[in-house]
Structure 1
Amino acid sequence: MKSRPFRAATLAMALTSLTAFAAACGSDGSAEQASGPVTVEFWGWAPGYEKSVELFNAAHPGIKVTYSKISPGSKGGYTKMLNAVKAGNAPCLGSVGFETLPTFAAAGALQDATEAAAPYAAEYAPWAFAQSGVSGRTFGLPVDIAPMALIYRKDLFAKYGIAAAPRTWDEYAADAAIIHAADPNAYIGYFGNDAYNFAGLAWQAGAKWFGTSGDKWTVHLDDPATRKVTAFWQDLIDRKLVKTVPSFDTALYKGMGEGTILSDVNAVWDTPILADSVKQTSGNWAVAPMPVWDAAAPATGNAGGSPNAVLKGCKHVKEAVEFAHWFGTDQASVSNLIKETGIYPAALSGLENPALHQPDPFYGGQTIFDVFKESAGRVDTGFRWGPVMTKTSGVLGDGLGRVGAGGLGLDAALAETQAQTVAEMKTQGMEIG
């Protein structure tokens, strides 16, 4: 039997049950009054999260947060959370990326935290707070955003006669040709299979993958802006000017360590990952602004960012949100998260954190967050994620991998992702405009 229509503008079918649950729990979202410390269970996977939990527990005897480290969301963590919600034993809080929050909302896996979160709204970047909810309802508080930049081997760029990092994508392509002509084993960068990195590239170009028209969803994963991105990278792939290698793969870091892959266009959180992966090259890397399409109107992309979201069944919404707010705003916690996780804070107060202004030895003593601050100010805040991103990202990532292996063209991978995304949304009863 076909399910009832899923209304894009209101998410009514998925959210009605959340309202009823919140009402049953009382105005503060607490289903019961605890005689001792309230326990809030929290699931996540990012490095450094456990330290921030320890700091909170040491200073808040009335609330005890228990942290469980699970697999990253795309590697089973989200499935574990959704299954726990279905089984009725989910934690109060889960780390859920902006990109996946609408999927959790569509599955009825989130609990309305609008009332508890409202007093904190003005303390966050407005678009980050907005992406921590769906259709006017808030389900958590943001920890970070993920502006993108160019992370590159400054010493090897100089070796090949490139004095400055490319400012535009045209310059990037020209530099790619210079490097590869000088050494056929050297590449300016790589093309991987990370669907969300690709989404960040499309975001920068002005893509609008998802939207609403009346009470229907619009889906344009193959819009002109995204086609511009695919044409650019397909040309570099065809001319063998970038290395095709799986994202975050051992082979990628081997190439970076050996000096055959000279850069990475990625988000702020990638900086500590790269530093940890190629320690032997410390001091040779630098961070520059992401190449842009139009130097007169520079725009950058965002590839990540997440709120700590309240999952359905949480008995202590008020306390969960209190912890989530502390987690992303307390200066000691934010310092820890900047150092260990590589976050760029979503909280406005976090932008003054001293850890953002420290020279980084791996990056030649550069204050790298200055670059990401500039990038964050150039992110189009109107980009929106769709309601089946688990499916969308899976199909897109598979397609990007096949492109890298030479078995598929980028446009074909995009068309396949569009078709399968629409099919999945229709299967779930969503109306497409």
Structure 2
Amino acid sequence: MDRTAVGRRRLIAKVAASLMTLPLLVTGCGGGTEGDAPAASGPVKLEFWGWAPGYDKSVELFNATHKDVQVTFDKLPSGGQGGYDKMFSAVKAGNAPCLAQVGFESVPTFLLEGALEDVTAEADAAKDQFVPWTWNQVSVAGKTYGIPVDTGPMALYYRKDVFQKYGIAVPKTWDEYAAAAEKLHSADPKASIVNLKATGLPGLAWQKGAKWFGTEGDAWKVTINGPETRQVADYWQGLVDKKLVNTTDEGYSAAWWSALQSGKTATAIGAVWLYPLIAQNAPAAKGKFGVAPLPQWSAGEQKFGNEGGSSTAVLKGCKNKKEAVEFATWMSTDAASLKNLIDVTGIYPAAKAGLELPGVNKGVEYYGGENIFKVFATAAQNTDTSWQWGPTQSQLGADLGEALGNAYAGKTSLSSALDLLQGKTVAAMKSKGLEVHE
């Protein structure tokens, strides 16, 4: 057996608290292409693959202020829509870029595939500039593989005008949210409280205190269908059965945005990065949206989930690790870059300095001048940072989408979908040679 592969699997099995979060690889710097090596009479040229809006502008800002290093940003489909597959194929072919946008949830998968470069020596000096748990997302067993960019604290986006029209109070608990769904549907049978297809189950399970992945010694522990997640599933199943939620329109589709813009969908449950997307895709609803804390399972609690969070990872084979880390650190910490990423990408910074910028403590015109960042700050400060992701995220994402889709179509229940997802995830991990406990 390949000893390198065995060692890598053992490393992944020991991830424990250093990998958490959510909705994954070697040339612009790697793989041996000529363009990646420093030229005697020119700057080091780095290639960067990603998909987030605004990243291209940060690259432009960097290039305008750095003569010795120049970065080219290539936009891909999002990770789950083919971007990660392209990265993995490029790694195997030996022609991947130096830098890649990799979600926190996908770092274990990239490690298992041997697709990340150890940049501990190059990155260690930047560690104290970041919120500690975000650094843990790019580090395993004392080794670092990239630079954190952002986190995804969750909140409730709601139509203020719709709530006011029907006398609905902003729900503080999930019981109140269910009551709001009933009241809305009674007043307007064509309206729905939320589109469930655009609502991330992992983040809601995270809020409830679930632990989908953990480790026991050198083995993985998988409890996707544990009691906390099952309670979340049963709650939403109740709303599905009463036809109080939309389970037909695909998330982020034209129909989904249209329903938000018209008010036929009264809320959206999502992370901070959703706020600019709503503004861009539902312009006619300007001034009609508010942002409130995620409803709680028990009155008075302060428990929240995280959806997303990303890194600028350095891919295997990068010949210019020092310059790659220099750019990645700059992008996540420079004030001009952060302003761009906050305004355009909708990030909540992983860098400590970013949390002090005016951009994350101001009113937002689209939301009626409301300082929505106060809500996200509270969420970020009250999110359990011990959540872990597993090492087969590409498979998990695909299976999760299929299982939930079948449940929303009435082919099975959400609870049964969890059992199916548990079984498929364990089987996928074992197929990679990993030891798994259930």
One-letter code of the match for 2:172? R
CA contact (8 A) 1:149 1:290 kept: yes
CA contact (8 A) 2:171 2:177 kept: yes
Shift of 1:308: 0.2
- How big is each residue's C-alpha offset from its partner over 1:263-283, in whole Å with a ceiling of 9 and x where there is no partner? 001011111111111111111
Match of 2:205 in 1: 202
Q: Please state if 1:235 is matched with 2:238.
A: yes
Shift of 1:382: 0.2
Match of 2:111 in 1: 105
Match of 2:287 in 1: 283
Shift of 1:191: 0.8
Counting only pairs closer than 5 Å after superposition, residues 42-191 of structure 1 correspond to structure 2 as 42-163=48-169, 165-191=170-196
Rounded to whole Å, the distance in 2 between the matches of 1:368 and 1:296 is 20
Which of 346, 356, 361 is residue 357 of structure 1 equivalent to? 361
CA contact (8 A) 1:150 1:289 kept: yes
Rounded to whole Å, the distance in 2 between the matches of 1:193 and 1:399 is 14
- How big is each residue's C-alpha offset from its partner over 1:202-256, in whole Å with a ceiling of 9 and x where there is no partner? 1111111111111111111111110111011001111111111321122212211
- SS of residue paired to 2:125: helix
Gaps of 5+ in 1: 15-20, 26-30
Match of 1:369 in 2: 373
One-letter code of the match for 2:356? E
Which is worse superposed, 1-10 or 94-103?
A: 1-10
One-letter code of the match for 2:324? A
Shift of 1:362: 1.4
CA contact (8 A) 1:8 1:215 kept: no
Which is worse superposed, 249-258 or 408-417?
A: 249-258
Rounded to whole Å, the distance in 1 between the matches of 2:434 and 2:13 is 11
TM-score normalised to structure 2 length: 0.91
Rounded to whole Å, the distance in 1 between the matches of 2:357 and 2:97 is 30
- How big is each residue's C-alpha offset from its partner over 1:174-206, in whole Å with a ceiling of 9 and x where there is no partner? 111111111111222121166xx2110111111
Give runs of ≥4 in structure 1 deviating > 6 Å: 1-4
Which of 422, 428, 432 is residue 428 of structure 1 equivalent to? 432
Rounded to whole Å, the distance in 2 between the matches of 1:361 and 1:33 is 45
CA contact (8 A) 1:6 1:428 kept: no
One-letter code of the match for 2:116? L
One-letter code of the match for 1:87? A
One-letter code of the match for 1:221? I
TM-score normalised to structure 1 length: 0.92
Identity of aligned residues (%): 50
CA contact (8 A) 1:8 1:216 kept: no
One-letter code of the match for 1:45? W
Shift of 1:296: 3.3
CA RMSD of aligned residues (A): 2.1
One-letter code of the match for 1:11? I
One-letter code of the match for 2:256? L
One-letter code of the match for 1:91? P
Match of 1:298 in 2: 302
CA contact (8 A) 1:359 1:366 kept: yes
Shift of 1:7: 7.2
Rounded to whole Å, the distance in 1 between the matches of 2:131 and 2:110 is 22
- How big is each residue's C-alpha offset from its partner over 1:48-71, in whole Å with a ceiling of 9 and x where there is no partner? 111100100111111111111111
Gaps of 5+ in 2: 16-25, 31-35
One-letter code of the match for 1:382? S
Shift of 1:12: 8.1
One-letter code of the match for 1:394? A
Match of 2:311 in 1: 307
Counting only pairs closer than 5 Å after superposition, residues 226-265 of structure 1 correspond to structure 2 as 226-244=229-247, 245-265=249-269
